[in-house]
């Protein structure tokens, strides 16, 4: 596959006044040289120095397609590790398609999704976890997502895994050296107390990385926030105010929201995934009942719960729903949001008695957009996300997390084996399994099927 020369548009459609077309492979320079006419006649791409730009024209015969800038990169010092040309042309879709067509007519092939990054991985320019971080960086929509993707792309996670694998290989080599001299029982190359200490250190590092996934997943996919409450408490109105758009239908008719509505918003660099749910009430309507059942399912999945309460009927709503709602919120951040506070005729203090300890409360008017900023501040506080730097190692990828869990299970067996003085060959087998799962993350033991699944999710041109 890497013998082909590939081409694709690397900029998003309609992204601006210019576009970039990337050509990579053994014939990249030769093919582009046929199509490119430099303004300085005696300067061709064949003689152009690497990492320089040249101005000229792309032509089909005598027909001018566009005036362009051409950047030349020579392998292995390029993104893909191959000879690469980047053509910067005007952003017209017609111009881009004409240049692509010319490239294909002259021997290029259209790139597959993620093929540029896959070639970078295959040519040793990055490991698999760094390649996956490229996709995360492109998809990042918040400061947290950007920092984590950039850290992983620059090799922070890879370096940590490399240190772990080196330590595991050191233990394994000592254990297996003993097996080679098993006839000499008095020889002991691997001090058991030292191995136990090292295994404990490795277990702590893998455990820390695995446990960081809960934070990483929240940053990457958004912190799930379930908005629950009785019908007509103002849940859909609040969702529309937070999103600043008419996402959910708002009506005085009870039971308008019958299904789950989800959308995300960025608040101070943190992505929240809001889930507007069907109002909780006794009903004989089959469809509405299904919606209420889904409400409780989404409540169970949420990190933060906004319990919307009509402040004009607060006591009754709290009494009716407490037994259903509070047990499901035991391990969650619960915020009681008393809506329609502008219509309240009784003191607010009378409504917040007998509530569970550590429960946050806030009085708002979703319709009049009163105290919405304070609600956003409470959400930031409830998120409990650590401040991040580009050096933080936090796992955001499900594939990585699953591999870490399997590696953690293997190192636990190593610790157990060392504790009961298990035979070295059994301990060595568990050590190698731990190494295997860590190596799987960076792509040292991966298969073509795994690579296909990963890179097929990329955009074409990346």
The CATH number of whichever domain residue 68 belongs to comes to: 3.30.1360.120
Sheet holding 333-339, edge to edge: 261-267, 270-276, 223-229, 304-310, 333-339, 360-363
Q: What is the pTM of this model?
A: 0.75
Whether cis (ω within 30° of 0) applies to the bond prior to 427 is no
What is the predicted pLDDT for the residue at 139?
Answer: 83
Q: Are residues 170 and 88 in the same domain?
A: no
Q: Are residues 238 and 320 in the same domain?
A: yes
Q: Are residues 329 and 371 in the same domain?
A: yes
What is the predicted pLDDT for the residue at 169?
Answer: 85
- Residue 1 is assigned to a structural domain of this protein: no
Residues 314-353: tens digit of each pLDDT? 888 777 777 777 777 788 888 988 998 888 877 777 777 6
Residues 404-434: tens digit of each pLDDT? 999 999 999 999 998 888 877 788 889 889 9
The DSSP result for 25-84, as a single string, is: STTHHHHHHHHEEESSTT--TTTPPTTEEEEEEEEETTEEEEEEEEEEE-TTSSSSSS-E
- CA–CA gap between residue 75 and residue 85 (Å, rounded): 11
What is the predicted pLDDT for the residue at 205?
Answer: 94
Q: Are residues 17 and 95 in the same domain?
A: yes
Dihedral sign for Cα atoms in the order 10, 389, 222, 153: positive
**CATH number, domain with residue 437:** 1.20.120.430
- CA–CA gap between residue 194 and residue 413 (Å, rounded): 17
- CA–CA gap between residue 321 and residue 311 (Å, rounded): 14
- Residue 144 is assigned to a structural domain of this protein: yes
Q: Are residues 112 and 150 in the same domain?
A: no
Q: How far is CA 59 from the centre of its chain?
A: 42
The pair phi, psi for residue 249, each rounded to 5°, is -70, 130
- CA–CA gap between residue 83 and residue 75 (Å, rounded): 5
370 DSSP 8-state letter: B
Contact of 42 with 113, CB cutoff 8 Å: no
- CA–CA gap between residue 343 and residue 72 (Å, rounded): 68
Domain that holds residue 429: 133-212+394-443
For 150, the token pair is: 């950039």
For 416, the token pair is: 């157990």
Q: Are residues 267 and 156 in the same domain?
A: no
Contact of 68 with 88, CB cutoff 8 Å: yes
Q: What is the mean pLDDT of the chain?
A: 83
Contact of 434 with 169, CB cutoff 8 Å: no
What is the predicted pLDDT for the residue at 110?
Answer: 95
**CATH number, domain with residue 334:** 3.40.50.300
What is the predicted pLDDT for the residue at 422?
Answer: 81
Q: Are residues 156 and 224 in the same domain?
A: no
Place of tokens 């548009």: 9
Pairing of strands 360-363, 36-38: unpaired
């Amino acid at each position: 596959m890497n013998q082909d020369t590939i081409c694709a548009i690397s900029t998003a459609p309609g992204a601006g006044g210019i576009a970039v077309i990337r050509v990579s492979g053994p014939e990249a320079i030769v093919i582009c040289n046929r199509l490119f006419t430099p303004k300085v006649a005696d300067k061709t791409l064949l003689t152009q120095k690497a990492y320089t730009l040249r101005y000229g024209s792309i032509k089909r015969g005598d027909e001018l397609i566009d005036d362009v800038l051409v950047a030349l990169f020579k392998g292995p010092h390029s993104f893909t590790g191959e000879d690469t040309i980047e053509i910067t042309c005007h952003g017209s879709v017609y111009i881009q398609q004409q240049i692509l067509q010319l490239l294909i007519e002259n021997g290029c092939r259209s790139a597959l999704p993620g093929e540029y990054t896959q070639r970078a991985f295959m040519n040793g320019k990055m490991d698999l976890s760094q390649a996956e971080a490229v996709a995360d960086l492109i998809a990042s929509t918040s400061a947290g997502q950007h920092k984590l993707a950039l850290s992983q792309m620059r090799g922070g996670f890879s370096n940590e895994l490399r240190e772990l694998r080196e330590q595991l290989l050191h233990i394994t080599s000592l254990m297996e050296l003993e097996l080679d001299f098993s006839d000499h029982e008095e020889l002991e190359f691997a001090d058991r107390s030292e191995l136990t200490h090292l295994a404990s250190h490795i277990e702590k590092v893998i455990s820390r990385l695995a446990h960081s996934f809960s934070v990483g997943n929240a940053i990457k996919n958004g912190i799930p926030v379930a908005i629950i409450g009785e019908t007509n408490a103002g849940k859909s109105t609040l969702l529309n105010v937070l999103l600043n758009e008419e996402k959910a239908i708002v009506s005085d008719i009870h039971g308008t929201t019958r299904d789950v509505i989800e959308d995300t918003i960025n608040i101070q660099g943190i992505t929240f995934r809001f889930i507007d749910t069907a109002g909780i009430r006794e009903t004989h309507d089959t469809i509405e009942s299904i919606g209420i059942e889904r409400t409780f399912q989404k409540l169970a999945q949420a990190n933060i719960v906004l319990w919307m309460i009509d402040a004009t009927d607060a006591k009754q709503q709290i009494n009716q729903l407490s037994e259903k709602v509070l047990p499901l919120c035991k391990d969650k951040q619960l915020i009681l949001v008393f809506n329609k506070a502008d219509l309240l005729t009784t003191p607010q203090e009378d409504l917040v008695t007998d509530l569970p300890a550590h429960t946050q409360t806030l009085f708002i008017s979703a319709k009049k957009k009163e105290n919405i900023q304070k609600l956003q501040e409470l959400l930031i506080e409830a998120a409990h996300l650590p401040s991040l730097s580009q050096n933080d190692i936090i796992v955001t990828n499900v594939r990585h997390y699953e591999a870490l869990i399997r590696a953690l299970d293997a190192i636990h067996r190593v610790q157990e084996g060392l504790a009961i003085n298990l035979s070295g060959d059994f301990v060595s087998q568990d050590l190698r399994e731990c190494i295997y799962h860590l190596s799987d993350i960076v792509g040292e033991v991966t298969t073509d099927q795994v690579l296909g699944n990963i890179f097929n999710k990329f955009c074409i041109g990346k």
